[in-house]
Amino acid sequence: MTVTNSSRPEFELIAAIRQRAPVHPPVRLGIGDDAAVLAPTPGKLQVVTTDLLTEGVDFRWPEASAWQIGRKAVLVNLSDIAAMGAWPVAAWVASALPADRGEAFAREFHAGVLAAAEEFGVTLAGGDTNTWPQPFVVAVTVLGEVLADRPILRSGAQAGDWVMVTGAFGGSLLGRHLEPAPRLREVRRMMELAEVHALIDVSDGLAADLHHLLEESRVGATIVAADVPVHADAFRMGKGSNPLEHALSDGEDFELIATLAPEQARRLLALWDLETPLTKIGEITAETGCRLMDVDGTLHDLPPRGWCHAWQPSSAEVPAAESSGNASNGV
C-alpha cells in the first residue's frame, strides 16, 4: 500500500511549510533534505544563537496564541543576533508540539514562525517537528552575518563610555513579552553612525543584563535613576508597585544596551534619525560594580535583579510518586 503525505500529517505539515519558506543567500538548500546547505558570504564572519522556549515559563497557552508563540520563538533569537552587531540570515526550528492540540495548532504556530522570518528576510532552513503528551517546547537556532569586520561583544566596554539604551523598560508582562521587536535596524544604524564598543540585549532585565556586560568587560557603571526610560506599562503594573523597579528588573523588553566613547555617543545622538528612542542612562567606570544614582545624588548598589532560571531538587531527592517522566514519539 502506498502511504501518501495526506495520511501522514507530520509530512503534510512539512510540505506546507516548505511551500512558504523561500530560500535566500547564503542558504543554497533549505527544507527537504537531511540538512541545509549554505555558502557563507566571502569575508563575512558568522554568529549563531539558540533559545529554548517552554510553556509555563516563556508563554502560557491559550493566553498566547500559537501564532504569537511561533513569532516570539524566532524574534527573541533575532534580538540576540542584533546584540552581536549582525543581521540574521537563516533559522532552524525544532518543536515538541502537544499532540492533543491538533494540526490546526501546529499550522498556526508555524505561520507565526514564517511571519517573523519573512519580516526580516530570514530563510527558514529546516528543523524538526515532534508531537508528545506534554506542554509545548520549541527551540530555535539562528545564523547571522556580522555587519562590519567584527562582531560587537559584551566584553568591549571601556571606562568613560556612555551607557546608552534603545526604547523603554518595564511592564512587559502586560503583553509586550509576546511581541518582541528585535532592534536589528537600530543596531545597523548605530554602526553606520558611530563606533560601538559593547552590546547586549535585555531579556533577563535591564539591571541583570547590564551586569552581564560589566562582568565580561571587567568594568563597572553608574546609572542615573532619573534617566532610565520607563515604559508606560511599568506604571500600570499594580497599585503600590515601583515603575523604576519594574524597568530595572522585569525583563523581556528586548531592547539594547550599548556603550560608546563620549564623542561617539554625542555624534550618534546628534545624527539619530530612527523612531526608536536612544537614551544615555549612565557611564562606565574603571571601578567594578554597578551603582544607581538617585535624584539627590546618593549612590546605591544596583544588584543584578531580573529573571534567572532555578533548579528544583533532583529526581534522586524526590519520592518516586512525585517524579514524572517524559516520552516522545518524534521522528
Residue numbers in the known binding site for ATP are 127-128, 154, 203
Residue numbers in the known binding site for Mg(2+) are 34, 49-51, 80, 128, 201, 204
How far apart are alpha carbons 134 and 57 in whole angstroms? 14
Asked if 17 contacts 115 with a C-beta cutoff of 8 angstroms, the reply is no
Torsion angle defined by CA atoms of residues 261, 263, 267 and 268, in that order, rounded to the nearest 10 degrees: 10
Angstrom CA distances, 71 to 59, 78, 266, 277, 307, stand at 12, 11, 35, 24, 21
Residue numbers in the known binding site are 34, 49-51, 58, 80, 127-128, 154, 201, 203-204, 252, 307
Backbone angles phi, psi at 270, to 5 degrees: -70, -30
Residue 167 half-sphere exposure toward CB, CA atoms < 13 A: 26
Report the length, in residues, of the chain: 331
The residue type found at 204 is D
139's CB contacts (< 8 A; 6+ apart) are 50, 51, 52, 53, 93, 94, 95
Residue numbers in the known binding site for substrate are 58, 252, 307
